[in-house]
Amino acid sequence: MKKASVSFGLLEFVFLATLSLTQIANAQVPEKSYARFDFLPGDKVLFEDDFLDESVDEIPSHWVVSGKIEIVKINNELTMGLLDGTPTAYPRLKNDLSPQRFTVEFDYLYRHNTKTWKQAVADGNTGGNRLEIQFANNDDYYNRELQDNVLGDFYNNTLIIGAEGIVQFANAKGSYTSGKKIEDLGDTYEDLCDKWVHVSIAVTEKSLKVYLNSERVLNAQITKGRALGFQLSANTSSYEMASQVFIKNVRVAEGGADPYKTLSADGRFIARGINFDVAKATLKPESMGTFNTISAMMKEHTDLKLEIGGHTDASGDDAGNLKLSQERADAVKNKLVSLGVDASRLSTKGYGETQPIGDNNTFEGKAENRRVEFVKM
């Protein structure tokens, strides 16, 4: 197809795209905005992908894709790009998504091909600005035997997340309101513009809740049926005046047990909501949902004392993993102390890769092994 002429040359196009990516990667949502975040992820990891084992321009190996979907590097970070047409992708889950209670988390980024998203909004050419989530892969979704009897509300209803922060499922609709609006750009928020946006989804027998960054934007009622999967799709284009969507840090987890009940029954609790930057002990801001819950629990149960254990998978060398796990355990303790928990009630230990709970030779097992674990003392 012949492309429309543009007023800048190829070199300027490349420069603008690179500049846009640099601005995106350096923009972070501040941790303080998560001060009241209350999302808790499921405690058993079913699927997790940070794309670290992928190669640029290749199809992501842990996904089933349709359309143009490739690994793209954005400021030295590997991401999954939904690049052209109406591409779809769903994870290669080891088992079917069967629990009625589960959570999904990922980061997304809308990016215009030739300019920043802010400028594209100002110019009025942000086509393809919605991400759609179908709770079954296409084979199951169009299977008539499953539609009414199994999928129920999850058939004919997809979760839609718009670039402007409008979220919709069935008849329920909500809008992001926490951030600061960009002057003269209507309902365009700084937190959602040229920045990675963290999505947290919690599905139960009765509801579907969606958070954008720290704000709960949607609470939709589920009257019947259950989800069978998790499939992403978007209306994107490689055309010079259109947009694309990028995805990173994907996790699907089952359940969502109460930490105190789990500690009382099992003597330990795996905090799947505490996450770090890759190969660092730097806490991600969305970890605040779990920190808020743990700190409130410690203040309510004043006799409770905990060991914070840091654990890694077997990637990398033993000494490095041991050091990193200790640094991460210490970072968790420091955060809890900053939230008012007495330091004398907390101890830390880095275990590195020495206490696996999953098979380090499998993709799923490695995800299980990367964890922060609280043990009752």
For 174-191, write each residue's pLDDT tens digit.
Answer: 999 988 899 888 889 999
Cβ(309)–Cβ(364) below 8 Å: no
> Which pair of structure tokens corresponds to residue 308?
């914070």
Q: Which residues contact 3 (CB under 8 A, 6 or more apart)?
A: 239, 240
pLDDT digits (tens, 9 = 90+) for 335-353: 999 999 999 999 999 999 9
pLDDT digits (tens, 9 = 90+) for 203-241: 999 999 999 999 999 999 999 999 999 999 998 887 766
What's the whole-number mean pLDDT along residues 232-260? 87
CATH superfamily of 259-376: OmpA-like domain (3.30.1330.60)
What pLDDT is attached to residue 154? 96
3-state secondary structure at position 348? strand
What's the Cα-to-Cα distance from 135 to each of 77, 101, 200, 232, 243, rounded to whole Å? Answer: 28, 13, 15, 9, 24
The dihedral built from the CA positions of residue 41, 44, 46 and 50, taken in this order, carries a sign that is: positive
Q: Which residues contact 238 (CB under 8 A, 6 or more apart)?
A: 68, 83, 84, 113, 244
DSSP code of residue 342: -
Burial (CB < 10 A; 0-12, 13-18, 19+), residue 339, is: middle
pLDDT surpasses 90 at 200:
yes
CA–CA dist 198, 41 (Å, integer): 13
What pLDDT is attached to residue 237? 81
Q: Which residues contact 375 (CB under 8 A, 6 or more apart)?
A: 267, 268, 306, 307, 309
> For the chain, what percent of residues have pLDDT higher than 90?
71
The topology under which CATH files domain 10-254 is Jelly Rolls (2.60.120)
What pLDDT is attached to residue 28? 57
Question: Whole-number mean pLDDT of the chain?
Answer: 89
pLDDT digits (tens, 9 = 90+) for 22-56: 455 455 566 777 878 889 999 888 999 999 999 99
The dihedral built from the CA positions of residue 75, 78, 84 and 87, taken in this order, carries a sign that is: negative
For the chain, what are the domain ranges?
Answer: 10-254, 259-376
pLDDT surpasses 70 at 325:
yes
What pLDDT is attached to residue 241? 63
